[in-house]
Amino acid sequence: MLKKKKYIKGLSNRHHILNKCRHGSNHSDNIYIMDIGKHVLWHHIFRWWTFEEAAEALEKVPDLVLVDADTKKDFEKLFGHNDTDRAINQLRNLAELIKQRNEVGLTKKEEKQLDLF
């Protein structure tokens, strides 16, 4: 289990969509900027999965995040709710927006939608 770190709210860092240990690059197409605390929560819950992989896992096993009280609490902190169906939609929308960003670019309004986490 990953060790949780304290963080200062509002700070952000780079999340590799395809993790470097899985041969993901540092190229901007593979980077998603997210709040440091939510970044730690992401890896605590989903380890090195991509957004699409996490959505697929939640779809197959909706109770995946309910294994223990800490994970359930972390899931609620990460997504702002504990509805796995809603989280699946959020993850799929985020993955699609990132794909669109990388292929054709996004409008300012669409860029704001990337602020899922």
**24-48: per-residue pLDDT in tens?**
999 989 998 888 889 999 999 999 9
pLDDT at 7 over 50: no
Question: Which whole-number Å values give the CA distances from 73 to 47, 60, 91, in the listed order?
Answer: 16, 21, 18
State mean pLDDT over 95-104: 89
> pLDDT category, 55, cuts 50, 70, 90?
very high
Question: Which whole-number Å values give the CA distances from 108 to 51, 91, 99, 112, 115, in the listed order?
Answer: 22, 20, 16, 6, 12
Q: What is the pLDDT of residue 8?
A: 53
